[in-house]
Amino acid sequence: MPRSTVAAFRAMSVLLAALAVAGCATGGPATENTGGSAAGDSLTVFGTGEALLRYAVTLIAAATPSSLVEGIRLASAADELGAAGAAGAGILGDTLLRNLYPASTRRGGFRSPLSSDGAGLAWSAARITSPFLSSIASALVLLDPFAAIDEPRGAALRANLAQAGAELPSSPLPPFFLALLAQRRSGTLAEARVQLEGALKRSPAFAPAAAELSRTIIRAGSAVSELPLLRHLASLLSTPAERFAALARAELAAGRPAAAADAAAQGMVHAPDDPEFALLRAQSLAAEGDWYQSLYVLDALLRLQPGFAPAILLKAQLLHDKAANDLEALSVLEDAESHDPADASFPELQAHILLHENKSVEAVTALRRAHELAPESVSILSTLVSTSVDAGQWNEAASYLAQIPEQSRGAEHLRLGWRIASGLGDNVQALEYAQKLFQATQSADALALEARSMIAAGRLSDAMVAIDHALLAIAPPPERASELHYLRSRAGSADPLLDLRTALRENPDNAEALAAIADVLAVQKDYRKAMEYAKRAAALVPGNPALAQKAEDLAKLIPSGQQP
């Protein structure tokens, strides 16, 4: 029998098997419709590899494990019939299967389409002719957590995925990848959530979107109020082990450690070799307050999995936070780093423990080592910014802050940016940071920073407007109100001393107001009272030698008859 005939018969048999899956995956009937059997209709239109490829695209777009498997088989058959782009479609389907369903395929971690083991197709000899699959192929990079996505590439991906979503409105893949893009580029959980919910609306059982939405809800901090939804999302996952792992994480995030421990125990039954469940149990015990038992579980886990980084990190964290044994915690991390010097999480945690011990030099050394290993880590960069700010190293702090993408900066980064710009004497940039902070938080402390920058720039009337708005429209807490009244005294208020006394009524420990009152009283030559206020200010800020010197200088000005 000629090769082409054999291929045609093989392709037809694959098609017949695939049509049943296609009916289930795409919402159409599996075996019959009003015009006759699905197999009979397909045989009527079948005659070329292109017809097989069209079915393959539909199956791959449905993105269930079974539809992907059949889509790969169908694409392989279409490739044998000479359909252009069939090989690329098959490789794309295989890549999606391996990356979206790693537990089902027993292949974890991101796998590049350039090494398509398992599909029997060669990427180097393939191309993709389907516009839909071409858009999806360009978005595969989003499955790689280490891939860099700059703004131009992100915009191109967004446009491609929007077009793909319009071409196949039943496929959950375009909104799913748009959600991953939103998290990567903007860091906006709300935007990602909308896309993930859109993917689940298209395909209510699409497990990857369910898993990602669960993680998004937990990251957003709303697990307590959305626990029923998290439980439902866990039920949609592909394997029992995945379901129990997601359930344990949800219960733990919702403040139900006992329920999380139960879910972790059930997960162990289905995946006894998976160390994640022992880790979840240890986390649950720690959350219940039984950190000693948690350490016991971690030690047992690490005897079986000595290089399991999450367990090492949790053990070190518990030794630091609960056992107050920093020496052992640091020893655990140093040993882990010696065995896995490429993992930045070990020196990063070392740095945090060292900072708690006020060993800033050693901490910065560890942070820089971590930064070399993970130069794009926002958490490492953020700590480097704050340590540089605390040390008054403004240029170094500015350099680290510049490495944090705008979309990854939160309110604390803006506050640090204000301190850096102020330290560098750049009042214009400091004001920009304060204004961005107010846009993000609508808070009185942001307006206080605005006022400080305006005062430093000589814009006293503008500062007064910002201060009065904060006092009258936002109703700040006493400590912030005290700061604002102090700033009002500096912005040219009609009665500075009255504002300063109001500041101290709101917060008697406002060192700035105490020092300012000392200056006012010194001008009035009431040196004894001025000295008392200066001494109180110096006691509140022992690290400020200028305040201590002010108190000494004022004491020398007190007439001999008025000495205390």
- pLDDT tens digits along 509-537: 999 999 999 998 888 888 889 899 999 99
Q: What is the pLDDT of residue 112?
A: 41
**Residue 293, pLDDT above cutoff 50:** yes
Place of tokens 């060292």: 354
Distances in Å between the Cα of 437 and the Cα atoms of 96, 410, 446, 448, 480 are 41, 9, 6, 11, 16
- Under the banding of pLDDT at 50, 70 and 90, the label for residue 266 is very high
**pLDDT above 90 as % of the chain:** 65
| CB 184 within 8 Å of CB 149 | yes
* DSSP bridge partners of 36: 33
For the chain, report the end-to-end CA distance as a whole number of angstroms. Answer: 117
436-448: average pLDDT = 93
The torsion angles phi and psi of 272, rounded to 5 degrees, stand at -65, -20
- Under the banding of pLDDT at 50, 70 and 90, the label for residue 121 is very low
Q: What is the pLDDT of residue 489?
A: 93
- CA atoms within a 13 Å half-sphere pointing along the CA-CB vector of 415: 13
- What predicted TM-score, i.e. pTM, was given to this entire model? 0.75
Place of tokens 């039954």: 269
- pLDDT tens digits along 446-498: 999 999 999 999 999 999 999 999 999 888 999 999 999 999 999 989 898 89
| CB 445 within 8 Å of CB 433 | no
From CA 444, how far away is CA 469, in angstroms rounded?
Answer: 9
**Residue 196, pLDDT above cutoff 50:** yes
From CA 58, how far away is CA 26, in angstroms rounded?
Answer: 8
- HEC secondary structure over 301-340: HHHHCCCCHHHHHHHHHHHHHCCCCHHHHHHHHHHHHHHC
| CB 205 within 8 Å of CB 64 | yes
- Under the banding of pLDDT at 50, 70 and 90, the label for residue 8 is very low
| CB 103 within 8 Å of CB 138 | no
Mean pLDDT of the chain: 85
Does 561 or 243 have the greater pLDDT score?
A: 243
Residues with Cβ within 8 Å of 236's Cβ and at least 6 positions away in sequence, in order, are: 204, 205, 206, 207, 210
- Under the banding of pLDDT at 50, 70 and 90, the label for residue 194 is very high
Q: What is the pLDDT of residue 563?
A: 59
Mean pLDDT is lowest, of 3-12, 469-478, 494-503, for 3-12
Side chain identity, residue 91: I
From CA 222, how far away is CA 27, in angstroms rounded?
Answer: 33
Sketch the domain layout of the chain as residue ranges: 3-129, 306-362, 509-564
Q: What is the pLDDT of residue 106?
A: 54
Mean pLDDT is lowest, of 120-134, 317-331, 492-506, for 120-134
**Residue 349, pLDDT above cutoff 80:** yes
399-419: average pLDDT = 92
Q: What is the pLDDT of residue 397?
A: 96
| CB 515 within 8 Å of CB 547 | yes
| CB 357 within 8 Å of CB 388 | no
- Under the banding of pLDDT at 50, 70 and 90, the label for residue 545 is confident
Structure tokens at 517: 């009152």
- pLDDT tens digits along 44-71: 344 578 888 988 999 999 999 999 999 9
Mean pLDDT is lowest, of 15-29, 251-265, 391-405, 430-444, for 15-29
- Under the banding of pLDDT at 50, 70 and 90, the label for residue 561 is low
- pLDDT tens digits along 149-179: 888 888 999 999 999 999 999 999 999 999 9
Q: What is the pLDDT of residue 562?
A: 60
| CB 298 within 8 Å of CB 271 | no
CA angle 247, 104, 130 (to 5 degrees): 115
